[in-house]
Amino acid sequence: MLRTIAFSLLSLLPGTAFALCEGHDLIDAMSAEDRAALQAEADAMPYPKGLYWRATRGPQTITMFGTYHFRHAQTDAHLDLVKPEIDAADAVYLEMSQDEQLNFQNTIAKDPSIMFITEGPTLPDLLGEDDWAKFKSEMQTRGFPGVVASRLKPLWAAMMLGIGPCEAQNGAMEADGIDALVGQYAETKGKPSRSLEDFKSVLGMLDGQPIEDQLDMIRLTLDVPLDPDDMSYTIRERYLAEEIALTWQFAKAMSLEYGGPTATEDFALLEEAILVARNKDWVDLLADLEDDTIFVAFGAGHLPGTFGVLFLLEQKGYTITRLAVPAPR
């Protein structure tokens, strides 16, 4: 969902050629004690490592690939890996099908109020002079003119701050990631991708958060003393190492450390909205399908944990098997 939102926003700006961004691994930079504690928390989660999985129950087989929504060095290799599964599948599912992504972009074009403030106070008024100045500066490093940034709805504004300036400037979000490539390949095989969820219901759920909570998300992100390019680099490299639970625990630790007195409550609410509720709905949908062979690709963060898709499928009687992702050549 975030990739589609980012693409829609960046389509307002001049295109750029894709280039990989470098950075420093923030987990490696932690003290040995803190890093060990973080690893222990990750290892305690069900299915902490892995991108590629198979769930079987009776005649039904669900093959899953956890994605990194933006393009990276192994995107094409990952597509080649899953092509045989797409070829064999009766149905292919994405968070948002190709048709839904197009529908989303058309909906934004017809109704900008979904993502932009079209009446009433804009972000300079809502954030106040100092926070607006910081936010405007951060968005300019990502290539957004102040006039565009000023009218973003707070939740989408906070999401955009989670994307490193280097990624925003170097085409990582405009280039096709694995989700889009899976949908395109499935289309060529006469298997149009299907959606795990209705984007309008997800947007409604997120947009329904109180405005002050949304503004606080912007302020807290601005106050985190970590380089956003290093954060993006850390998440991408740990993804490629298939350390999904570790990445999630790191993000949680940073949110709690810098999130202020309500950080624990805020993170729990976000986790429930972004992962827990959606994962349950996805698993209910997949388990009720009549198709025998299913391929599904969704963000890797949805895989691990007691709230993760894999554990929830296990609770429904599926046998879960990790599949190998060959090391880069």
Q: Give the contacts of 89 (CB within 8 A, at least 6 positions apart).
A: 63, 186, 191, 291, 293, 294, 295
Is 20 domain-assigned?
no
pLDDT attached to residue 188: 96
Angle, helix 32-43 to helix 244-258, in steps of 10 degrees: 120
| The pLDDT of residue 6 | 42
Q: Could you read off the pLDDT of 179-215 as tens digits, one per residue?
A: 999 999 999 999 999 999 987 777 776 677 778 878 8
User: Does 302 map to a domain?
Assistant: yes
Stretch 74-97: mean pLDDT, rounded? 96
Q: Does pLDDT of 30 surpass 90?
A: yes
251 class by beta-carbon count within 10 Å (0-12 exposed, 13-18 middle, 19+ buried): middle
E-strand ranges in the chain read 52-57, 60-67, 91-94, 194-195, 293-299, 319-323
Structural domain includes residue 21: no
| pLDDT at res. 174 | 67
Q: Given a cut of 50, is residue 290 above it in pLDDT?
A: yes
Q: Kindly state the percentage of the chain with pLDDT values over 90.
A: 58
Q: Residue 295 — φ and ψ, nearest 5°?
A: -115, 135
In this structure, the number of other CB atoms found within 10 A of the CB of residue 109 comes to: 10
Per-residue pLDDT tens digits for 142-184: 888 999 999 998 888 887 887 888 888 876 666 788 999 999 9
Residue 208 is classified by DSSP as T
Cα 45 vs. chain centroid, distance in angstroms?
Answer: 19
pTM of the complete model = 0.89
Query: Does residue 286 have a pLDDT over 50?
Result: yes
How far is Cα 195 from Cα 295, in angstroms, rounded to an integer? 12
Domain membership of residue 268 as a residue range: 2-15+26-323
Least confident of 57-61, 225-229, 233-237, 285-289: 225-229
Q: Is 328 a member of any domain? A: no
pLDDT at 217 exceeding the cut of 80 = no
Rg (CA), the chain: 20
pLDDT of residue 281: 95
Pick from 281, 243, 260, 174: nearest CA to 25 = 243
pLDDT for 291 equals 94
Q: Which of 45-54, 234-243, 273-282 has the lowest average pLDDT?
A: 273-282
pLDDT at position 178:
93
**313 part of a folded domain:** yes
**Total tally of structural domains belonging to the chain:** 1
Mean pLDDT of the chain: 87
Averaged pLDDT for residues 238-247: 96
Tell me which of 139-143, 202-206, 222-226 is least confident: 202-206
Confidence (pLDDT) at 100 = 87
Instruction: Give the pLDDT confidence score for residue 77 in this predicted structure.
Output: 97
| Residue 263, in any domain of the structure | yes
Averaged pLDDT, 299-320 = 97
pLDDT for 168 equals 81
